Amino acid sequence: MIVELGHYALVLAFALTLVQCVLPLWGALSGDDRLMAVAPPVSVMLFVLVLISFVALTVAYLNSDFSVLNVLQNSHSAKPLIYKFTGVWGNHEGSMLLWVLILVFFGALVGFFGGNLPKDLKAATLSVQAWVSAGFILFLLATSNPFERVAGPPLEGADLNPILQDIGLAIHPPLLYIGYVGFSITFSFAVAALLLGRTDAAWARWVRPWTLLAWCFLTLGIAMGSYWAYYELGWGGWWFWDPVENASFMPWIAGTALLHSAIVMEKREALKIWTVLLAIFTFSLSLLGTFLVRSGVLTSVHAFATDPARGVFILVLLCIFIGGSLSLYAWRAPMLKQGGLFAPISREGGLVLNNLFLTAACAAVFVGTLYPLALDAITGEKISVGAPFFNLTFGPLMVPLLMAIPFGPVLSWKRGDLHAASQRLYAAFGLALLFALVTFWLWGMEKVLAPMGVGLAVWVMAGAVSEIVTRVKFFEIGPKRGFSRLVGLPGSAWGTVVAHFGVGVTVLGIVTASAFQEERIETMRPGDSIELSGYEVTFDGAAPRRGPNYTEEVGHFTIRKAGAYVAELDPSKRVYTARQMPTTEAGIHTTGFSQLYLSLGESRGDGAVDVRVYYKPLITLIWIGCVIMSLGAVFSMADRRLRVGAPKPAARRKAVQTAAAE
Amino acid sequence: MTRKQRRLTLIGSAGAVLAIALGLILFALNDQIVFFQSPTDITQKTMPAGQRIRLGGLVEEGSVEKSDNAQVSFRVTDMANAVAVTYKGILPDLFREGQGVVTEGVIGPNGVFVADSVLAKHDENYMPKEVAEALKDQGHWQGGEGEAN
What is the tens place of the pLDDT at every residue in A573-610? 888 888 888 888 899 999 899 999 998 887 777 778 88
> Which of A539 and B146 is assigned the larger pLDDT?
A539
Indicate the average pLDDT of chain A.
88
A393-450 residue pLDDT tens? 999 999 999 999 999 888 888 887 888 888 889 999 999 999 999 999 888 777 778 9
Q: Given pLDDT bands bounded at 50, 70 and 90, which one contains residue B124?
A: very low
Q: How far apart are CA A362 and CA A277, in angstroms?
A: 14
Q: Do A582 and B93 touch (CB under 8 A)?
A: yes
pTM of the model: 0.91
Measured in angstroms, the CA of A432 and the nearest CA of chain B are apart by: 26
**Is the pLDDT reported for residue A218 higher than 80?**
yes
Please report the pLDDT score of residue A650 as a whole number. Answer: 46
**Is the pLDDT reported for residue B144 higher than 60?**
no
**Is the pLDDT reported for residue A566 higher than 50?**
yes
For testing contact with chain A, the best of B11, B32, B53, B95 (most A CBs within 10 A): B32
For testing contact with chain B, the best of A354, A356, A418 (most B CBs within 10 A): A356
CB crowding B8-33: b at 16 or more within 10 Å, else e: ebbeeebeebeebbeebbeebbeebb
- What are the backbone angles phi and psi of residue A529, rounded to the nearest 5°? -130, 150
- Phi-psi domain of A250 (left: phi exceeds 0; alpha: psi -120 through 50; beta: other): alpha
Please report the pLDDT score of residue A185 as a whole number. Answer: 94
Integer-rounded Cα radius of gyration of chain B: 22
Please report the pLDDT score of residue B33 as a whole number. Answer: 82
Q: Do A383 and B18 touch (CB under 8 A)?
A: no
Q: Which residues of A touch B128 (CB under 8 A)?
A: 299
Please report the pLDDT score of residue A364 as a whole number. Answer: 95
Please report the pLDDT score of residue A657 as a whole number. Answer: 52
Q: How far apart are CA A422 and CA A433, in angstroms?
A: 15
Give the count of beta carbons closer than 10 Å to the beta carbon of residue B111: 10
Q: Given pLDDT bands bounded at 50, 70 and 90, which one contains residue A503?
A: very high
Give percent of chain A with pLDDT exceeding 70.
Answer: 94
**Is the pLDDT reported for residue B39 higher than 90?**
no
Q: Do A357 and B3 touch (CB under 8 A)?
A: no
**Is the pLDDT reported for residue B146 higher than 50?**
no
SS3 (DSSP) at A563 = coil
**Is the pLDDT reported for residue B61 higher than 70?**
yes
Please report the pLDDT score of residue B126 as a whole number. Answer: 47
Q: How far apart are CA A569 and CA A571, in angstroms?
A: 6
> In residues, how long is chain B?
149
Question: Which stretch of A240-244, A340-344, B23-27 has the lowest confidence by average pLDDT?
Answer: A340-344
DSSP state for residue B48 in the 8-state scheme: P
Q: Where are the alpha helices (DSSP H) in A63-200?
A: 69-74, 81-86, 92-113, 119-143, 168-196
Tell me whether residue A388 is exposed, middle or buried, using C-beta atoms within 10 angstroms of its C-beta: 0 to 12, 13 to 18, 19 or more: middle
Question: Which stretch of A275-284, A479-488, A646-655 has the lowest confidence by average pLDDT?
Answer: A646-655
**Do the beta carbons of residue A193 and residue A217 sit within 8 Å?**
no
CA distances to A227, A286, A526 from A293, rounded to whole Å, are 19, 10, 43
Q: Which residues of B touch A524 (CB under 8 A)?
A: none
Q: Given pLDDT bands bounded at 50, 70 and 90, which one contains residue B95?
A: confident
Indicate the average pLDDT of chain B.
79
A549-561 residue pLDDT tens? 899 989 999 999 9
**Do the beta carbons of residue A465 and residue A497 sit within 8 Å?**
yes
**Do the beta carbons of residue A607 and residue A526 sit within 8 Å?**
yes
SS3 (DSSP) at A356 = helix
Nearest CA to B141 out of A308, A376, B129, B102 is that of B129
Give percent of chain A with pLDDT exceeding 90.
Answer: 56
Please report the pLDDT score of residue A653 as a whole number. Answer: 47
Q: Domain residues of chain A, as ranges? A: 1-161, 166-404, 405-516+620-634, 518-616
Q: How far apart are CA A281 and CA A244, in angstroms?
A: 18
Strands A609-616 and A594-603: antiparallel
**Is the pLDDT reported for residue A207 higher than 90?**
no
Please report the pLDDT score of residue B3 as a whole number. Answer: 74
Please report the pLDDT score of residue A300 as a whole number. Answer: 56
> Which of A185 and B67 is assigned the larger pLDDT?
A185
Q: Do B70 and A523 touch (CB under 8 A)?
A: yes
For testing contact with chain B, the best of A299, A352, A415 (most B CBs within 10 A): A299
Using CB atoms, which residue from B27, B89, B147 is nearest to A612? B89
Q: Model ipTM?
A: 0.81
Nearest CA to A385 out of A400, A399, A373, A398 is that of A373
Q: Which residues of A touch B88 (CB under 8 A)?
A: 521
Question: Which stretch of A67-76, A337-346, A501-510 has the lowest confidence by average pLDDT?
Answer: A337-346
Q: Given pLDDT bands bounded at 50, 70 and 90, which one contains residue B122?
A: low
**Do the beta carbons of residue A62 and residue A84 sit within 8 Å?**
yes
**Is the pLDDT reported for residue B141 higher than 70?**
no
Three-state SS string across A420-449, please? Answer: HHHHCCHHHHHHHHHHHHHHHHHHHHHCCH
CA distances to A516, B119, B122 from B100, rounded to whole Å, are 34, 9, 11
Partners of residue A520 on adjacent β-strands: A613
Q: Which residues of B touch A305 (CB under 8 A)?
A: 147
CA distances to A157, A164, A391, A614 from A154, rounded to whole Å, are 7, 23, 50, 45
Q: Where are the alpha helices (DSSP H) in A411-559?
A: 418-423, 426-443, 449-471, 479-488, 491-515
Please report the pLDDT score of residue A311 as a whole number. Answer: 83
Please report the pLDDT score of residue B121 as a whole number. Answer: 61
Using CB atoms, which residue from A305, A581, A604 is nearest to B66? A604
A148-198 residue pLDDT tens? 998 888 888 888 888 888 888 899 999 999 999 999 999 999 999 999 988
**Do the beta carbons of residue A282 and residue A259 sit within 8 Å?**
no
**Is the pLDDT reported for residue A204 higher than 70?**
yes
Using CB atoms, which residue from B69, B104, B123 is nearest to A581? B123
Please report the pLDDT score of residue B145 as a whole number. Answer: 37
